[in-house]
């Protein structure tokens, strides 16, 4: 393998991995804030991709406006799901026993609703980032790589600033550390949980818009992104936001090199072999969740 090929695969793997990082980060935030695992987060990606197809191909809207519309829709959709499922189960004291089953049911509902509306065949639309490769130092890089990495890092950066520098972020961290204590301190933990579900769905929406624009919208997207997001959390360290991002990038790079060096049909086997290794020998992942306790 030449140096140019290695760099091309590395850059491509990072761009795919950072797409996996968005739903993985959403799963982490929900787990920390509500203590539930959103099994349907991958289906959010597929739903956003199908919505993007409709807005671009049917309505002919420009890509920046489509991205904004899908973001707003997914944010509201995430909040609605929290109110319908999580809030209802918590009020009945059934959150720990039934949440996973409910999210599996939600995942199947979204998948087959998409199939009913958009059919099961893959849907493609014009790549808004251009299809002419850029040659940099002898290395061919597609324009969408820069756009994907840039847009994802922008949203991650905004989320980081909100999480670390704002009052809402302080409330989110307090809810993560101890929901009961946060409520006693006057924090509306129910609103914080709704906000986290909205942000999680919005991040999955960004992944759906970008991946659908680069590849296509299909029924398999939800399952693929859902499992890769779960694997990203295991590799990076479940519950650690930075770990979710790092794990997603690792999964993307390993998958890309596996598809190139072995076979594109074997890339999932390579990815899940890595997941199995981490589950057996390093189940806490690369990074542990750090919680600061003050007495």
Residue 290: predicted pLDDT: 53
Residue 289: predicted pLDDT: 57
Residue 109: predicted pLDDT: 92
Domain spans, the chain: 3-281
- Written out in words, the top-level CATH class of the domain with range 3-281 is mainly alpha
* The 3-state secondary structure of the chain, one letter per residue: CCHHHHHHHHHHHHHHHHHHHHHHHHHHHHHHHHCCCCCCHHHHHHHHHHHHHHHHHHCCCCHHHHHHHHHHHHHHHHHHHHHHHHHHHHHCCCHHHHHHHHHHHHHHHHHHHHHHHHCCCCECCCCCCCCCCEEECCEEECHHHHHHHHHHHHHHHHHHHHHHHCHHHHHHHHHHHCHHHHHHCCCCHHHHHHHHHHHHHHHHHHHHHHHHHHCCECCHHHHHHHHHHHHHHHHHCCCCHHHHHHHHHHHHHHHHHHHHHCCHHHHHHHHHHHHHHHHHHCCCCCCCCCCCCCC
Residue 293: predicted pLDDT: 43
Predicted confidence pLDDT, tens digits, the chain (295 residues): 677 778 888 888 888 899 999 999 988 888 888 888 888 888 999 999 999 999 988 888 998 999 999 999 999 999 999 999 988 888 888 877 788 889 999 999 999 999 999 988 888 877 788 777 777 777 777 888 888 888 888 988 888 888 888 888 888 888 877 777 888 888 888 888 889 999 999 999 999 999 888 888 888 888 888 889 988 989 888 878 888 899 999 998 988 888 787 777 777 788 888 888 888 888 888 876 554 443 3
């Amino acid at each position: 393998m030449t140096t140019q090929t290695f760099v091309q695969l590395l850059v491509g793997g990072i761009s795919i991995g950072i797409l996996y990082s968005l739903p993985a980060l959403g799963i982490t935030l929900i787990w920390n804030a509500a203590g539930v695992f959103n099994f349907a987060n991958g289906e959010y990606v597929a739903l956003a991709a199908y919505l993007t197809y409709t807005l671009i191909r049917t309505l002919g809207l420009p890509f920046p406006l489509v991205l904004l519309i899908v973001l707003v829709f997914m944010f509201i959709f995430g909040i609605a799901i929290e109110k319908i499922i999580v809030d209802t189960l918590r009020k009945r004291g059934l959150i720990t026993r039934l949440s996973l089953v409910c999210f599996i049911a939600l995942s199947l509902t979204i998948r087959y609703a998409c199939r009913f509306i958009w059919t099961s065949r893959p849907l493609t639309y014009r790549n808004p980032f251009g299809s002419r490769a850029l040659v940099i130092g002898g290395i061919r890089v597609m324009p969408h790589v820069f756009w994907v990495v840039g847009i994802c890092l922008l949203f991650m950066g905004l989320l980081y600033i909100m999480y670390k520098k704002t009052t809402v972020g302080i409330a989110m961290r307090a809810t993560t550390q101890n929901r009961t204590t946060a409520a006693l301190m006057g924090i509306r933990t129910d609103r914080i949980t709704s906000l986290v579900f909205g942000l999680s769905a919005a991040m999955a929406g960004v992944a759906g818009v970008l991946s659908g624009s680069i590849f296509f919208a299909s029924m398999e997207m939800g399952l693929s992104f859902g499992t890769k997001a779960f694997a990203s959390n295991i590799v990076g360290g479940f519950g650690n936001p930075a770990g979710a991002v790092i794990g997603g990038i690792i999964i993307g790079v390993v998958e890309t090199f596996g598809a190139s060096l072995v076979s594109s049909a074997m890339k999932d086997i390579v990815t899940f072999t890595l997941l199995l290794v981490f589950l057996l020998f390093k189940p806490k992942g690369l990074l542990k969740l750090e919680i600061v306790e003050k007495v």
